[in-house]
Each structure stands twice: as C-alpha cells, then as structure tokens.
Structure 1
C-alpha cells in the first residue's frame, strides 16, 4: 500500500485509505483537476500588475507542486493547516502586501477572515462563503479580472474626488 501511495503522490494525486474494522481494505485515488479558466485568470491578473500568485494547500506536497507547476504559480505551500494558512496571510501583510485570498473549504475560513480581500465561490462550504467578503455567484474565477478593474477604477475615482474636495479648502486656508 505504501508503494501505491508513493506512486500516486509522484503522479500528483492524493490517496485516501479505506479501512474496515481497522484493516486497510483499499484506497481511492483523488486526481486534482484544474479549473478550466484558472490559467487564463492567473495570466489576466498578471497583466493587471499582480505579480505574486501563491498556492496554499492542505494537500500533500507532490500533488500541490504539480498543480502549481501546471498553473504557473510563483510559489506553493503544501500540507498547511488552517492556522498556518492564516499565519501566512498575516506574514504577507506584515511585508506591506495586500492579500486577496480565494478559498472554498472549511480549512480556508481563518485565512479568508485575515485577508485584505477574501473571495469564495457559490457552492463552496458554508463556512468559506460566510467568511468571504465576495462570493462569485457563477462558480467561475473569470470575474476576478473585472473585480480588480472595478477596485482600481474605484480607487482612481476616490482619489480624484478627494482632490476636488480638498483643493478648494486648501486654497481657502492659504488665503486665510
């Protein structure tokens, strides 16, 4: 069974052992699948100036490494517990980074709460959707680019509005 497990991990798959009366009776191979839009979305985010894309997973190292390589993710972290995911988010924030965390499982909830912006998908675990600030209702990551564009436009308009509000007041203070 250890040989099967090693071979499964080497191929980038996870293995779940099945036991009956405390005896291993078999195993189920879980093959990770990449969302059809994932590579496209990562590239679109990079075109918008987002340079650091990380994968943080509770899965074994080999499947996580394979997925990260297939997606072109900068760095990956495997076998991370929920608290470790949240600590990683905090470390990035301490390094003056804004963190957008996307998660869909109960194990992502703490990190979702700590992130600058947290996103989940409709159909994800209830805990993840309750923790997220944004829920993508069409169950696709494609709207991420539009979401980042919306935020950028909002920030630009907010700065412009602030200038129009403060400029006349500053002139009045200079004259006064």
Structure 2
C-alpha cells in the first residue's frame, strides 16, 4: 500500500500499468487491484541468459496471472498456450538495421528478432531506440525495415484485449 500511494514516488498518482514478478504471489497482486486502478503485466519469463525462472515457475506464474483480475498481460520468451485474454509482451527484440546479427550484449541480455517471436502481442524494443541508433521517430520511420513492414501487416486488423471486458481495435497508421 505504501509503495503505491505513499513514499517518494506515489506510483498510483502517475502509473496506469506496472510490471511485477510473480514471486510476490497472488495476494500482493490482489492488494494492488483492491487499492488502485493500476493494471499489471506479470513477468513469467526473462530474456537474460542463466535466469532462474524455469518451466515450473512459468506455469505457476500463469496460474497467478489468470486468477488476478488486474493482470492484463505477461512478459514471456516462449509461445505459451491458453493465455488468452492476457497480452504477451516479449522483451529483448533487436531491430535488423540497428544491431546487425548480434544475439547478446555481453552482459546476459539475449536478443531475438520479431520474426522469431511472432506469437507476441507486443514487442519490447529498447536499446535500438534509446541508444540513439535513430535520432528521431521520423528517422526510424524513414528507414522502415522488413521487420516493421511485417509488424504493420500483422497488426493491421488485430484486436487486443486490454481488460477482461474491453477490447480495442488497433489499426496501423
């Protein structure tokens, strides 16, 4: 409660969506649901080499995700079945033009391509954008890659579930 509503950060005043590890258990996640409007993305798998989140952890995390109303998605690396209506978020995605054929950053992060993770609803692309590979969003759009074309085609008429009772139609721009 204090981390959400008090302290220095007062997360509930500015965040609509947070990520949490399933290690906290369902009771902590339910407490978030009862005490705030915040939705949760539950971390079920990680893209770092040697992480300790095994298949047993992932299975238990999925059970928790399905049992807590404010969990709207999961972070995963593998195509997990029977996760609907949860969104699947996949981090560790590299852009073809920005990171060549690099599969790791030397610090444990394992990169993958959009095509290898085609099951995902949402791709998390971080360093290609934050490390100044592209100066602006306009420059990124001007250098459209085959990955972008593939994503645009995939998302053209995709319906994504943001809550258990509401859907939003995503149209490519």
TM-score (norm: length of structure 2): 0.31
Higher alpha-carbon Rg:
1
Structure with the bigger RCO (C-alpha within 8 Å, sep 6+) is 2
Identify the structure with the greater helix proportion: 1
